[in-house]
Structure 1
Amino acid sequence: MNSFTTLQTETEIHQFIDNNPLSFVYISKNNCSVCHSLYPQIQSVMQEFPNIRLGYIVIDELPSLAGQWSIYTAPVLILFVDGKEYLREARFVPVESFREKVERIYQNYA
């Protein structure tokens, strides 16, 4: 089972993205009902893509990262390919549409 790794420092996050050709981060906030209700749905979707490494970030604990990555809301879902951002979705994410976008990228790079 492909599971999420909690990333707690900027160094961990940058190493995670740099060391994995396909990496995905789920960025959440504390006390965010949308974040907590969407997370299990995204976990389920990401099980279809075993070559994508999964990271989980609580942005409240890393406010400098919010500025660097232009994160103004939560949740934010970002897929990186070879260290470059390829897909970003935020706040209200249509799950099936998200799955289709990830699948297109995955088929080209996995």
Structure 2
Amino acid sequence: MQKYILKDIKNILEENKAVLLYFSANDCSVCKVLKPKIEHSLQNNFPLMKSIFIEDNMEISTNFTIFSNPMIVVFFEGKEFKRYGRNISLSLFEEDIERLYKMVF
């Protein structure tokens, strides 16, 4: 997993139309189960969306007001669109993103 600093994340948000930030913790079992499902969904349904997986990074988590894991934050054109926490419905996640994704791409 690539390590990011806050400046990297801010640059990615500026340079990409759609970005998903996935916050997790090393000791989070839900994070480990959900991550491959999210990766699969992104590859199959939203291939143009940039995804960043952030694990145990207090500076970045604090900057985005993340206090629990897993947490998914989706951005379109640099603006936060939606947050998904702990109990995430994958079908609802895909439905929410699909509408705006089709508008942007």
TM-score of the two chains, using structure 1 as the length reference? 0.87
How far apart, in 1, do the equivalents of 2:47 and 2:61 lie?
A: 27
Unaligned stretches of 5+ residues in structure 1: none
Does the Cα contact within 8 Å between 1:7 and 1:55 map onto a contact in 2? no
**Residue correspondence of structure 1 range 45-64 to structure 2 within 5 A:** 45-47=41-43, 48-58=45-55, 60=56, 62-64=57-59
- Residue 62 of structure 2 aligns with an amino acid whose one-letter code is G
Cα offset for 1:38?
0.3
Identity level (%): 29
Provide the aligned C-alpha RMSD in A: 1.4
Question: 1:6 aligns to what?
Answer: 2
Q: How many Å separate the matches in 1 of 2:39 and 2:62? A: 26
Distance (Å, rounded) in 2 between the aligned partners of 1:94 and 1:88: 12
Give the distance between the partners of 1:7 and 1:16, measured in 2 at CA.
13
Residues 7, 20 of structure 1: CA spacing in aligned structure 2 closer, same or farther, 3 A cutoff? farther
Shift of 1:64: 2.5
Q: For residues 9 and 75 of structure 1, do their structure 2 counterparts lie closer, same or farther at Cα, with a shift above 3 Å needed?
A: same
Deviations 1:39-97 (A, max 9, x none): 01111111111111111111x2x312222211110111111111111111011101111
- Contact 1:17 1:83 (8 Å CA) reproduced: yes
1:70 aligns with 2:65: yes
Number of residue pairs matched? 104
* Structure 2: distance between partners of 1:36 and 1:27: 11
Matching of residue 101 in structure 1 with residue 96 in structure 2: yes
Once residues 68 and 103 of structure 1 are traced to their aligned partners in structure 2, the CA distance between those partners, rounded to angstroms, is 27
Say whether residues 1:38 and 2:49 are aligned partners: no
Unmatched tracts of structure 2, length 5 or more? none
Instruction: Normalising by structure 2, report the TM-score.
Output: 0.90
